Amino acid sequence: PSVNYVKRVGAGNQVTMWYDFDFVDLYENGFGEVIFTDQRTGEIIERDYSFVYWGDKERDVFRQGECSFSINETKTCENIFLGKEIYKTWLPYNSKDIPKGSIRIGIKVNVKINDYVDGVWVVVGKGISKHAEWTADLNVDLVSYWMLDEVSGTLALDSIDGVYNGTLIDMTDSNWISGGLIGNALDFFNNSNRVLIPSFNDGNSDSSISLWLNYTPDDIRKSGNFQNSAILLGDWSSGFYFIDNSTHLLFRGWNGDATASTIGEVLYANWDETIFNHLVFIYSDVGSGTLDIELYLNNVSFGEITDVGSAYGDYEWIGGHDVNALGLNGTLDEIGLWNRSLTVDEISDLYNNGNGIGFLSLLAPSVTLNSPENGLNTTNNTILFNATIFDDNNLVNVSLYIDDVLNETNSSGINNTDYLFIKTFDVGSYNWTYKACDINNSCTITSTRTFNIFSFIEESQTFNVSSFETATESFNVNLTTNGSIPTIGKLIYGSVIYSDATITNTVDNNYNISRTIQIPIGIGTINWSFNFTLAGSEMNTSIQNQLVNSSELGLCNATLIVPYINFTFKDEADNSFINATIDSSTWEYWLGGGSITKSLLYSNTTENNDYAFCFNGGNRTLHNTRSIQYASTGYPQRKYDAISDLTNTVTNKILWLLSSTDGIYSSIQVVDSKGNRISGVGVTAERQFSGIWTIIGQEVTDDAGSVTFWLNPDYDHRFTFTSDDCIDASVTIRPTQSQYTQQLQCDGTGEDFISQLEGLKYSRTPIEGIIQAGITNFTYFVTSSKYTIINASFQIVNSSNSVVLNYTELACSSDECLLYFTYDVPIGADIKGRYYVDFGNGSILLEGDARWVNVVIDTTGKAGLSTLWNDLRYVLDDWGEGSNTGDFNRLVVIFFFMCLGIAFFNYHFGIDTQNPGAFMFILTMVILSGSLVGGLDGQGFFYYNNLSSVQFINNYILAFFMIIISVSYFIQVNTQAKR
């Protein structure tokens, strides 16, 4: 065939495609593989195939000679050899070379029932751009088909274009009977009944005969070994018949030389006389002018004979021969003749569980499903169904079935075209098929396909298939939705649910869902998936799995073989290597962000010259903290604390020791500028060896802010102090004392407060007042000696009393809680702080009016009254809002203006001069009035801090002293006046 159309072929080994070659030279290994694609599903499939070429083949030619008859009328004829002839056919080509010259080479493929296949043949290293498609069809190479459905007449009509119509001999209309397997049938009720058909004259070739036989042997035939002809292909040269004997029916085939061989036999007891039995004879061309014949009885292989003669002769007969003794005496129906070997599957289709299939069924419409592909997964609710329909007869209608229910029918009857149906579906799984029927009521129902409508489809998953404990891992799923927007993403990793997965819209309805986590402790295969909400319903992605390996740190051994750090020991005095013990060591290590860590406790009381620690975390960088206490005989214990990353490029670390006769213990206490002891400060001690500063000790200050080193008092030592909250410092001393103090400049200067609640203290930073714009560190540290602290929280509110920062620390100890956070202070900000603590009965406000103001200072122009007024307004704005600073500012301003007023009025009017004590009295009344107002609303002019009932003395002490002074003054003035 050419390569531009769909070729119909029979099932079995069929030549489906060929190419003509005309090479001027031999091309070695020019033929490559053939790629087969199922055109219905689009999937690549496997098919057995071989190369063939179109060439000449020789065969024997015979004719029938004289015949004779035995006493029971068995006819025996001689078969006369006439010679040989050459004919064209496909022959095996057992090479991958393309020969020189003109040749046609094809591919013989093992075609399966219902195949619709595309083949791409790789020739000279390239796939042929034009390639062949073929579909399996039982009608392929069907030479003749006699339905035997006539009711009268002398012709048995061939349904294939009437080429091989049979002529009834010695038969009348009474031979046509009803009650055949399908429709009518032809009954042969005496020996002279027979049908003569024209010769096929095809010689030796693969061929097949299918027929249905109803036969009831009588006693005469059983006793006489009668021959009953079903079909004779040629004048005694081939064909098959059966013989009655006393116990069996013997099915026989002619050998081509006037002799016959038994193919198979069946007991009368096993022969069902009440039904039509299906007989199929398969002729296989085995070369050298011979055939093999195999019999199938009712869909079961019944027997085989080999090396018989040619298949066809000058005349072909149905149900008898020109000799009466060979009459059938039975009923035949539905006889078909193929010029190829039928496959087992095709024989099964013809048998159809004993019901057979008629010629109209053989020529039922051809239906090729185009779309959707089988097993389609989509988020599109609208599906386009497409199938190509072809029929030899007049097509009547095409129907779409959804879930085995008729959905819609198209009755246009247009042949050889695509039939389309467009349907809308809800989310779910469905199956579908087409049914096509023609004018003869012959219908084809295709195999069922499925499709799935999803609200989303996973496109891909991105993650590492293996990881290690404590590592940072990211998980990502890309999906396409039906238009709905996914929200509330969660990663489900093993039994842990991680919320706040990131959902990103990439384009249109495509989204990425991702989450980064620290791998928990525990090894094995861990399942993971994403959960999210789509259109109000919770959805889950497919379950994936990740292999988690152990992250193990320890002293190197047979299983831990990758060294990360190796410790050796030296004597400070002479720089010699010595053996030492590790009395204790504590390691905390991790691979990821540090929220999940592992720990190692190691000690060894046997002195060794080195200690190598290995890690099996896949050669990844190991983050860790380590605290090692080591010693040796005659050498006091030292401590090595460090926080640094390690890799598989081994770190060689020397730990120094000093003998017990050469050193003293020297402690350093680290404090801030207020004298508060600072814990967690890294302290590194160094000493010079050959002019090079060398680390001899590393420790971290304890809760008391102290570290202790065993040091040589004869040498200078450099100490470096590092802290996240303080400015690093370095100092060099000769450690001749047992105690030193080192002060660090820490962030800001905090304020300490004692609460009215018993045993409660707190401190906070920064100090109230002017604050710079930008990111600012805030701290809040609360301690309690009586109550158990559950949590502490802090709020920042703006000038509109709106909360702009809300921070709660849940990881508190029972007696203290530290909050450390940052806030981006805007330009011109006027903010307040609120400090809370929770003892289990709700949050308690400790302070609510800590205030910070960002003052925008004009640095250009000249100072004047406006500048004075702006500065004064700032001071006035701060009244009553701060604590000690605000009080002081307020009192200074009040007394400043009072003194100015007194001086002004006395200078111009002499009030106090003429009336001694007048201004003292006025001043006392003003202070008393202010104190009285403050006593009523807690916001008077003269008070020490925000008022409450227990702070009475703070409010009235100034008024009290002024009254005493005024009374004393008037008593003194009055006494002097009396004198």
pLDDT in tens, 586-632: 999 999 999 999 999 999 999 999 999 999 988 999 999 999 999 99
Strand partners, 905: none
pLDDT greater than 60 at residue 515: yes
Model confidence pLDDT, tens digit, residues 881-901 = 444 555 566 666 777 777 787
Mean pLDDT of 88-96: 89
In degrees and rounded to multiples of 5, residue 543 shows phi and psi of -80, 120
Q: What is the 3-state secondary structure (H, E, C) of 510-563?
A: EEEEEEEEECCCCCEEEEEEEEEEECCEEEECCCEEEEEECCCEEECCCCCCCE
Q: Residue 943 has what pLDDT?
A: 47
pLDDT greater than 80 at residue 821: no
Mean pLDDT of 421-449: 90
Secondary structure letter of residue 677 according to DSSP: B
Ordered by where they begin, the domains of the chain are 6-136 (no CATH), 142-362 (2.60.120.200), 366-453 (2.60.40.10), 462-549 (2.60.40.10), 563-743 (2.60.40.1120), 751-853 (2.60.40.2550), 866-978 (no CATH)
Q: How confident is the model at residue 561 (pLDDT cuts 50, 70, 90)?
A: very high
Q: Which residue has the tokens 């006025």?
A: 922
More confident residue, 20 or 821: 20
In degrees and rounded to multiples of 5, residue 722 shows phi and psi of -125, 135
Mean pLDDT of 444-468: 94
Residue 682 CA to residue 699 CA, distance in Å, equals 6
Q: How confident is the model at residue 653 (pLDDT cuts 50, 70, 90)?
A: very high
Q: Residue 948 has what pLDDT?
A: 45
Q: Residue 245 has what pLDDT?
A: 66
Q: Residue 938 has what pLDDT?
A: 46
Question: Is-contact 453 381, C-beta < 8 A?
Answer: yes
Model confidence pLDDT, tens digit, residues 741-780 = 787 777 655 667 888 888 898 888 778 888 888 877 787 8
Portion of the chain with pLDDT greater than 70, in percent: 77
More confident residue, 718 or 912: 718
Mean pLDDT of 356-367: 75
Q: How confident is the model at residue 311 (pLDDT cuts 50, 70, 90)?
A: very low
Burial 36-67 (b: 16+ CB within 10 A, else e): bbbbbeeeeeebebebbbbeeeebbebebeee
Mean pLDDT of 63-78: 55
Mean pLDDT of 7-12: 68
pLDDT greater than 80 at residue 428: yes
Calculate the alpha carbon distances from 452 to 117, 449, 754, 801, 829 in Å.
Answer: 25, 11, 70, 56, 59
Q: Residue 901 has what pLDDT?
A: 77
User: Which of 319-323, 388-392, 888-892 has the highest mean predicted lDDT (pLDDT)?
Assistant: 388-392
DSSP 696-759: EEEEE--TTSEEEEEE-TTS-EEEEEE-SSB--EEEEE---SSEEEEE--BSS--EEEE-SSTT
Portion of the chain with pLDDT greater than 90, in percent: 42
Q: Residue 477 has what pLDDT?
A: 98
Q: Which residue has the tokens 């009395």?
A: 583
Its pTM surpasses 0.85: no
Question: Is-contact 753 760, C-beta < 8 A?
Answer: no
pLDDT greater than 90 at residue 974: no
Q: Residue 263 has what pLDDT?
A: 75
Question: Is-contact 373 387, C-beta < 8 A?
Answer: no
Q: Residue 330 has what pLDDT?
A: 85
More confident residue, 326 or 489: 489
User: Which of 49-58, 219-228, 290-299, 630-639 has the highest mean predicted lDDT (pLDDT)?
Assistant: 630-639
Mean pLDDT of 491-507: 96
Mean pLDDT of 88-99: 89
Residue 557 CA to residue 566 CA, distance in Å, equals 13
Structure tokens at 449: 């396909």
Q: How confident is the model at residue 462 (pLDDT cuts 50, 70, 90)?
A: very high
Q: Which residue has the tokens 């599957």?
A: 345
Residue 568 CA to residue 580 CA, distance in Å, equals 8
> Which of these, 199, 200, 204, lies nearest to 84 by C-alpha position?
204
Amino acid (one-letter) located at 938:
G
More confident residue, 453 or 65: 453
pLDDT greater than 50 at residue 234: no
**Pairing outcome for strands 717-722 and 664-671:** unpaired
Model confidence pLDDT, tens digit, residues 246-258 = 676 777 766 655 5
Tell me which of 396-410, 502-516, 952-966 is least confident.
Answer: 952-966
Q: Residue 31 has what pLDDT?
A: 86
Calculate the alpha carbon distances from 823 to 194, 305, 776, 805 in Å.
Answer: 110, 99, 5, 8
Mean pLDDT of 55-66: 70
Query: Do you find a cis peptide bond into 217, omega within 30 degrees of 0?
Result: no
pLDDT greater than 70 at residue 935: no
Q: Residue 364 has what pLDDT?
A: 74
